[in-house]
Amino acid sequence: MMSLIDTGLEKGYIRFDSERKFITYVFQNKKRNYTNPEEQVQAETFLKLILVYGYPVLRIRQFVTITMGSSTKEADLVVYDDDECQEPKLIVECKKPDVSELEFQQAVEQAFSYAFATPKNVKFIWVTSGIKDRYFTVNKEKDERKDESDIPQFGVEKLAQYKYVKGGTAQNTAQDNAAAYGKQKFFELQTVTESELTRRFRQAHQALWAGGELNPSEAFDELDKLIFCKIWDERHKKRKNGEPYDFQIISEEAEGKITADEKTTAELFKRINALYAEGQKEDPEVFKEDIRLSPQKVKTVVGYLEGINLSKTDLDSKGRAFEEFMGSYFRGDFGQFFTPRNIVKFIVEVMPITNTSRVLDTSCGSGGFLLYALERVRTEAGEYFPNWQTDPDDSRQHYKFWHDFAEKNLYGIEINEQIARTAKMNMIIHDDGHTNVIAADGLLKSTELIKRSGNAGFEYGKFDFIITNPPFGSTVRQAERAYLNQYNFGVKEANWLDLKSSAVEDRANQSTEVLFIEQCHNFLREGGYMAVVIPDGILTNNSLQYVRDQIEN
């Protein structure tokens, strides 16, 4: 599908110089610096007005001078009700994509100041950063503003309450203006690029903690909950074509002493909590706490995510976006270091994992190894059922092939409860595999893990593959963890290569990486494979010869 920019070039609305550094808006013969991120948003918005909303180019003016007292300002875009451009209908304010929530709100106020400074009655306002949009109706006489779900298409005066419906029009599809005139158009959710999705996650997260009400860690948890609601809404099985999605801002009318905006925000909050409750009932282990955000904060996050389709965005792009956002956050907040993607990919690719294999990561972190194992099986499913995208029977068998593996054969343990929840979310974003991810100490014995999690799958001697990167550099002390004496690697025998005579019969402590080697072996079935990232010292230090001997044994 052609992008709006490509279509605009083809139809002659815009043109670029040879290096694509400058854009010229042909109708007004205005040349602007296209390397400016705000200009890129302006160009896309200009073309949306023409190609998506159907407005004639001769009724759109850019960079319009607005007199405000003794000074003048420049409105980015003004759409008029007449060909002579005397009756302004819509003012558009454009901002760069990474604008902060505070700056976005300032842009909203700026747009309203333009509307009230204009001699004629402007009816609508659209503020956009390319990744977030807000729409308003304006009543200058009553000094009122009202949140809307969209701006009207050309020829449409009465706005619908909502914008996004199942089976709606693609948002970047050029329409025949004449054919579209006077018809209310609803939109389907759109897939987005990895970079745009990463930016949306970051902007939404920043909007939650920047005001100081939440710390970054709490904001991350709350954003996870809303992403969960978003995916749950997209996968709702009872929604028919033409019915609206719940995870969007739906405009409401004032009711009694409640203003229209208050009603809109309250109803959105109610819908989001209903989605969350449904999801909790289906997957009670994903999130045990209720949503702790205010209705206004929920509305802010919905503004960043409402128009995108997380379920249909390319799996690899979606995964990288979530991992990049998540990884940079966790490194800063928790000091966690996740296994590099190329290492994870290499380990999974050399293991002969199939859809019948039982796979475990005893220190799964954000779920990288599990996700690559799932992706490997999904790729294998495509080889067995090559027509799965077009043949209904192939599609069903393709889904069963990888989904049964994800649901029944993929297991993970993560000691940090917040990271464990994040791993679950990472799996859900990748279309499942979160069922058997538990928050627990990966060094607990099998019987204790089963008892605490209620999941009988964590049984010793039952896994075909262990793929993991256990925590390094920590020490387990018998005085703190009573299970140390249950491990053979917790006891050392003196060795002639141990020049410092550090070996003693009863160990009071042991390194986590050493204990995890034995724990992984415990889970492995006879003939199974174990691939573990370990410190070089385990293979080279004289004092660890006993570990190498026991690995050989």
Q: Which of 179-188, 489-498, 504-513, 543-552 has the lowest mean pLDDT?
A: 489-498
What pLDDT, on a 0 to 100 scale, did the predictor assign at position 393? 93
Q: Which of 58-67, 164-173, 259-268, 403-412 has the lowest mean pLDDT?
A: 164-173
What pLDDT, on a 0 to 100 scale, did the predictor assign at position 548? 85
Q: What are phi and psi of 229, to 5 degrees?
A: -60, -40
Counting residues of the chain whose pLDDT is more than 90, the rounded percentage is 50
Which ranges in 34-168 belong to alpha helices (H)?
Answer: 37-51, 101-117
Task: Give the whole-angstrom CA distance, residue 23 versus residue 410.
Answer: 51
If one compares 512 and 405, the residue with the highest pLDDT of the two is: 405
With CA atoms as reference, report the closest residue to 94 among 44, 138, 20. Answer: 44
Task: Give the whole-angstrom CA distance, residue 93 versus residue 286.
Answer: 40
Give the tens place of pLDDT for each residue, 357-409: 999 999 998 888 998 899 899 999 999 999 988 999 999 999 899 999 998 99
What pLDDT, on a 0 to 100 scale, did the predictor assign at position 505? 46
For 257-286, the three-class secondary structure string (H helix, E strand, C coil) is CECHHHHHHHHHHHHHHHHHHHHHHHCCCC
Which string of DSSP letters, residue by residue, matches 108-123? Answer: HHHHHHHHHHSSS---
Q: Which of 75-79, 116-120, 169-173 has the lowest mean pLDDT?
A: 169-173
- Give the range with max mean pLDDT: 65-74, 292-301, 335-344: 292-301
Is 365 within 8 Å of 423 (Cβ atoms)? yes
Q: How far is CA 15 from the centre of its chain?
A: 34
What pLDDT, on a 0 to 100 scale, did the predictor assign at position 212? 72
* Confidence category of residue 503, pLDDT binned at 50, 70, 90: very low
Q: Which of 150-159, 220-229, 344-353, 471-480 has the lowest mean pLDDT?
A: 471-480
Task: Give the whole-angstrom CA distance, residue 309 versus residue 307.
Answer: 7
For the residues 180-196, what does the mean pLDDT come to? 83
For the residues 277-297, what does the mean pLDDT come to? 82
* Confidence category of residue 525, pLDDT binned at 50, 70, 90: very high
* Confidence category of residue 217, pLDDT binned at 50, 70, 90: confident
Is 214 within 8 Å of 224 (Cβ atoms)? no
The answer on pLDDT for 483 being more than 70 is: no
The answer on pLDDT for 176 being more than 80 is: no
**Cα radius of gyration rounded to whole Å, the chain:** 28
What pLDDT, on a 0 to 100 scale, did the predictor assign at position 325? 72
Measured from the Cβ of residue 363, the count of other Cβ atoms closer than 10 Å reads 24
The answer on pLDDT for 87 being more than 80 is: yes
What pLDDT, on a 0 to 100 scale, did the predictor assign at position 435? 79
For the residues 119-123, what does the mean pLDDT come to? 88
* Confidence category of residue 182, pLDDT binned at 50, 70, 90: low
If one compares 155 and 279, the residue with the highest pLDDT of the two is: 155
Instruction: Say which CATH architecture domain 1-188 belongs to.
Output: Alpha-Beta Complex (3.90)
Give the tens place of pLDDT for each residue, 32-74: 999 999 999 999 999 999 999 999 999 999 999 998 878 889 9
Is 447 within 8 Å of 460 (Cβ atoms)? no
Q: What are phi and psi of 479, to 5 degrees?
A: -70, -25
What pLDDT, on a 0 to 100 scale, did the predictor assign at position 181? 60
* Confidence category of residue 522, pLDDT binned at 50, 70, 90: very high
Average pLDDT, the chain: 86
What pLDDT, on a 0 to 100 scale, did the predictor assign at position 509? 64
Burial 190-227, CB ≥16 within 10 A → b, else e: ebbebebbbbbbbbbbbbbbeeeebeeeebbbbbbbbb
The answer on pLDDT for 170 being more than 80 is: no
For 146-206, the three-class secondary structure string (H helix, E strand, C coil) is EEECCCCCCCCCCCCCCCEEEEEECCCCCCCHHHHCCCCCCECCECCCHHHHHHHHHHHHH
**How is domain 336-552 classified at the CATH fold level?**
Rossmann fold (3.40.50)
- Strand-pair partners of 32: 23
What pLDDT, on a 0 to 100 scale, did the predictor assign at position 103? 93
What pLDDT, on a 0 to 100 scale, did the predictor assign at position 266? 95
Task: Give the whole-angstrom CA distance, residue 547 versus residue 389.
Answer: 50
What pLDDT, on a 0 to 100 scale, did the predictor assign at position 24? 96
Which string of DSSP letters, residue by residue, matches 246-258? Answer: SSS------BTTB
The answer on pLDDT for 496 being more than 50 is: no
Q: Is the dihedral of CA 515, 518, 522, 525 positive or negative?
A: positive
- Give the range with max mean pLDDT: 280-294, 333-347, 350-364: 350-364
Domain positions in the chain? 1-188, 196-314, 336-552
If one compares 432 and 113, the residue with the highest pLDDT of the two is: 113
